[in-house]
Structure 1
């Protein structure tokens, strides 16, 4: 598949790039259908917030133009967009003047079992805990070692995703998805002000809930509260919504709000 670096086709990157050396940058995983990225504005908003917090001076209009052109050429698949601080000398200190690097990589859509969406998935209870770092919380930065370690905890197809908690045991998210529960008719997702990734599908579903008059809340989600929920589902910008049917012997049925939002998510993603 094709790849671009700073707006031009390329297959190589400088070994002095700070994204490689220190994870000094951000990324977005973007679904492309019919030559366009359906959740473009959500992706760009998160990227802009990440660049603001990391003080990376990204030219956002240029990034938008390149992303749209790249997506048109890709047609169908997944675009991984990476923005690094650019090249630097040895050492943690960032260069006085950053020259950000823009990287686009195309890939086919991953293959997921249809049963994941129809019947729901089983979660693996990861022992890896997310560290609290409010400065980075919510961002999709390039250092994803916690997720790499967590994903290595299980093999095979029995578990479609892993459940990740923070140091206090609160439920936060999946390894590569966000998590929602329904409690007494209220749609609830975890507070990500300490850790976790604020996914674009999560943001879109919260906006949908407001538009549809669905009560929604962002708050801490203790493990016992999670287990007592009426419905549980995962979401991300590639697969939409997967109901959760079980974790560590606890079972849920696929509920009506999950099914309603699942249909809306399909429309949002042009699935």
Structure 2
């Protein structure tokens, strides 16, 4: 399927675009199944918050309409939605009147080993640390250089994901996923008010867990708490849930709460 720029098939972009020059924008990575994006409302909510916080005047209803049309044409695969502030002159100052650019790219679903979801994955302990920047924390903005550097730290298939911590050593997330731990029956995920990406699957699982009466905590996770967890798992909007079996010599079983959330994630993604 051809890519779209501002609602029309296109394969090029202006070199004056601020997304290219400064990473001035946001993106969403969206699973599409049977012509529909299963987590649409979560994606749109995060996009709306990001545009509000960055001051990008996006027409959200138009974006929703285009995304649904694009998804219908794609059928099965991944839609990557990028919003930039549009074109601008040299310099950091935004244009007085921003004309946001809407970009949609299609790709096949990534092929992950089935064993990742069955037996769990091993995490690579990334040296790259996430900088604390509350103004941008939680947003899926276009500047992903920390993730690029972290992902470059390991090669091969021994590690399916990397563990990312902040400057103080607190556990935050994976390179391309969010992280949960289970301790004494509580489902715990990191506070992302300083850094990290607030994933849509993370949000959906938190909502589902609360609706089922599970004890949920969103708080700082010191590395020692992480190592003492009863269960650990990762999540994102493409693969759902992967149990974590080990990192730096520490091992965890695939526990019952992980399996419960894994089944919920499958239902959310229609897989």
TM-score over 0.5 for the alignment?
A: yes
Unaligned runs of 5+ residues in structure 1 are none
- Find the counterpart in structure 2 of residue 228 from structure 1: 228
Task: Work out the CA distance in 2 between the residues paired with 1:135 and 1:40.
Answer: 25
Task: Work out the CA distance in 1 between the residues paired with 2:135 and 2:2.
Answer: 33
Task: Work out the CA distance in 2 between the residues paired with 1:145 and 1:44.
Answer: 24
- Find the counterpart in structure 2 of residue 121 from structure 1: 121
- Pair 1:130 & 2:117 matched: no
TM-score (norm. length: structure 1) = 1.00
Task: Work out the CA distance in 2 between the residues paired with 1:183 and 1:219.
Answer: 13
- Find the counterpart in structure 1 of residue 212 from structure 2: 212
- Find the counterpart in structure 1 of residue 244 from structure 2: 244
- Pair 1:201 & 2:196 matched: no
Alignment RMSD (CA, Å): 0.4
* Structure 2 residue matching 1:162: 3-state secondary structure: strand
Unaligned runs of 5+ residues in structure 2 are none
- Alpha-carbon shift at residue 28 of structure 1 (Å): 0.1
- Pair 1:257 & 2:261 matched: no
* Structure 1 residue matching 2:63: 3-state secondary structure: helix
- 1:242-262 deviation digits (Å, cap 9, x = unpaired): 000000000000000000110
Task: Work out the CA distance in 2 between the residues paired with 1:169 and 1:257.
Answer: 26
Q: How many residues align?
A: 271
TM-score (norm. length: structure 2) = 1.00
Task: Work out the CA distance in 2 between the residues paired with 1:212 and 1:260.
Answer: 11
Find runs of 4+ consecutive structure 1 residues off by over 2 angstroms.
Answer: none
List aligned pairs for 1:85-164, cutoff 5 A: 85-164=85-164
Task: Work out the CA distance in 2 between the residues paired with 1:124 and 1:269.
Answer: 26
- Find the counterpart in structure 2 of residue 168 from structure 1: 168
- Alpha-carbon shift at residue 2 of structure 1 (Å): 1.9
Task: Work out the CA distance in 2 between the residues paired with 1:246 and 1:146.
Answer: 23
- Find the counterpart in structure 2 of residue 27 from structure 1: 27
- Alpha-carbon shift at residue 187 of structure 1 (Å): 0.1
- 1:4-23 deviation digits (Å, cap 9, x = unpaired): 00000000000000000000
Task: Work out the CA distance in 1 between the residues paired with 2:130 and 2:119.
Answer: 28
